Structure 1
Amino acid sequence: MKYRHLFFDLDHTLWDFDANARATLEHLHHELQLHDKGVHDFEAFYKNYLVHNETLWNKYRLGKIKQDELRLKRMWLSLLDFKIADEVLAREMSKLFLQMLPTRTLLFPHTVEVLHYLKAKGYTMHIITNGFEEVQLGKLHNCGLTSFFQHVITSEGSNSLKPRPEIFHYAMSKAGALVAESLMIGDGPDIDIAGAASVGMDSVYVNHISQEKDPVATYTIFHLEELERIL
């Protein structure tokens, strides 16, 4: 085998973040009676949340904001879009969201089948994620994916963030893997693919949303089951 160690991203690659976040926010919309507080259009609230979340994560990756600020502001700003300046509510939403989100179990199609296939072929698999450690471990446990992965490398545990090369070096050191035998598999061209390239690691761009191919990625796939063609 050309590769021995497979490093997977989690959110947006295996675990369907958008679908799970939507289900969680929809529950909170009902549970906290946000409609009565002024959030009359859940679809608009959800779309605004995704925009704020991505913007804040970009700032977090660049070291411009801290973890707690990201967690609170994505709710605070989403509420402000509906002219609701209620910090107590935003903090309650942030707390409940982080409690409930890891319990959601929506995966991309064929995730479990592909992981079984790769494990049976003898690949050693790991996770490299920018997500918060407790939250990411909860997602893997509740989805029944924990046993597939030897190491789960998070930004908190490594004190670094994708696409910085330090987190990839840390992951390979922890796994005892050489770069030539390692493959990064993720959905983020500027995060997973660029980060892998920065240390000379081959990569698979998991293009779930059918964007153009990434010129940096070693391989591009549109469905996880296509990994079986490569590996």
Structure 2
Amino acid sequence: MIQAVLFDLDGTLLDRDASVKKFIENQYERLGNYLGHISKEEYMTRFIELDCRGYVWKDKVYQQLVEEFEIVGIGWENLLGDYITEFKHHCVPFPNLKSMLEELKTDGLALGMITNGFGQFQMDNIRALGIENYFDAILVSETEGMKKPDPAIFKRALERLNKEPRESVFVGDHPENDVKASQYVGMKGIWKKDVQWDAFEPDYAVEDLGELPTMIRNLDLITKIGGVNR
């Protein structure tokens, strides 16, 4: 019987691509005195390229931007500080986020989250989405001293929820770090579809978060039938 659902954050609950575009456009406009010699399109496009969908930390991104665009009057440290303090004001949720979480809680499921990233930064984003209180356990890699796809962080999350892998589901957008890594520890993995990985063929996938409650009920039914057959 499925008793717990765990989630990734970026690209799964938080529409990071939309959030980054919203933030970087706002940063360009607010800091126009320093960035005005660059076109908005150039600045946004290059930031997104260097960011590599969050897999490159922003100190490297801003150092490169300052050098390439010959930005003066403001250092990369200040631009990074602006990112850290302001990004949370531009967080965009995927559609049906809260209604999906409410439905899962109504179904009596324990909810957890495992996200790679810096502790305070990720917690600020979670709070900005207004979803912290839905979760019974939230693990951020910096705080935990381990990160996905390390099996240990999945096991730690399950321990905090007091659930077994076989009765738990993990939902994430990354084929290796989320879906396969959770399956490795014995959980069921559900892929939140992402066009970047369109060649990935998982056992279970959703395009919209609103599909999850029904899918998980169906998985629960399959699990019960399997238990009877055994």
Assess same fold via TM > 0.5.
yes
Aligned to 1:71: 58
Instruction: Pick one of 117, 120, 134 that aligns with 1:148.
Output: 134
Cα displacement string for residues 93-113 of structure 1 (whole angstroms, at most 9, x for unaligned residues): 110111011222421111111
Are 2:149 and 2:177, in contact at CA under 8 Å, matched by a contact in 1?
yes
How far does residue 167 in structure 1 lie from its aligned partner after superposition? 1.3
CA distance in 1, matches of 2:97, 2:191: 15
Give the number of the structure whose residues are more often helix, by fraction: 2
Are 1:213 and 1:220, in contact at CA under 8 Å, matched by a contact in 2?
no
Aligned to 1:171: 157
* Secondary structure at 1:153 match in 2: strand
Aligned to 2:220: none
How many residue pairs match? The answer is 215
How far does residue 87 in structure 1 lie from its aligned partner after superposition? 9.7
Aligned to 1:196: 182
RMSD (Å), alpha carbons:
2.2
CA distance in 2, matches of 1:113, 1:172: 24
How far does residue 186 in structure 1 lie from its aligned partner after superposition? 0.7
Aligned to 2:27: 28
How far does residue 174 in structure 1 lie from its aligned partner after superposition? 2.0
CA separation of 1:56/1:114 partners in 2, compared to 1, >3 Å: closer, same or farther?
A: closer
Aligned to 1:118: 104
How far does residue 20 in structure 1 lie from its aligned partner after superposition? 1.4
Amino acid in the other structure paired with 1:122:
G
CA distance in 2, matches of 1:111, 1:55: 21
Cα displacement string for residues 31-90 of structure 1 (whole angstroms, at most 9, x for unaligned residues): 211442x322x23332322232228726xxxxxxxxxxx3311122234343x2659521
Aligned to 1:62: none
- TM-score using structure 1 length: 0.84
Instruction: Pick one of 72, 85, 94 that aligns with 1:99.
Output: 85
Instruction: Pick one of 42, 45, 49 that aligns with 1:44.
Output: 42
- TM-score using structure 2 length: 0.84
Question: Identity of counterpart residues, as a percentage?
Answer: 23
CA distance in 1, matches of 2:99, 2:146: 31
Moved over 6 A (4+): none
Aligned to 1:65: none
CA distance in 1, matches of 2:113, 2:209: 15
* Secondary structure at 2:176 match in 1: helix
Amino acid in the other structure paired with 1:51:
E
Amino acid in the other structure paired with 2:209:
L
Segments of structure 2 that go 5 or more residues without pairing to the other structure are: 217-230
How far does residue 166 in structure 1 lie from its aligned partner after superposition? 1.7
Are 1:208 and 1:223, in contact at CA under 8 Å, matched by a contact in 2?
no
Amino acid in the other structure paired with 1:230:
M
* Secondary structure at 1:15 match in 2: coil
Aligned to 1:212: 198
Segments of structure 1 that go 5 or more residues without pairing to the other structure are: 59-69
How far does residue 170 in structure 1 lie from its aligned partner after superposition? 1.6
CA separation of 1:99/1:214 partners in 2, compared to 1, >3 Å: closer, same or farther?
A: same
CA separation of 1:54/1:211 partners in 2, compared to 1, >3 Å: closer, same or farther?
A: closer
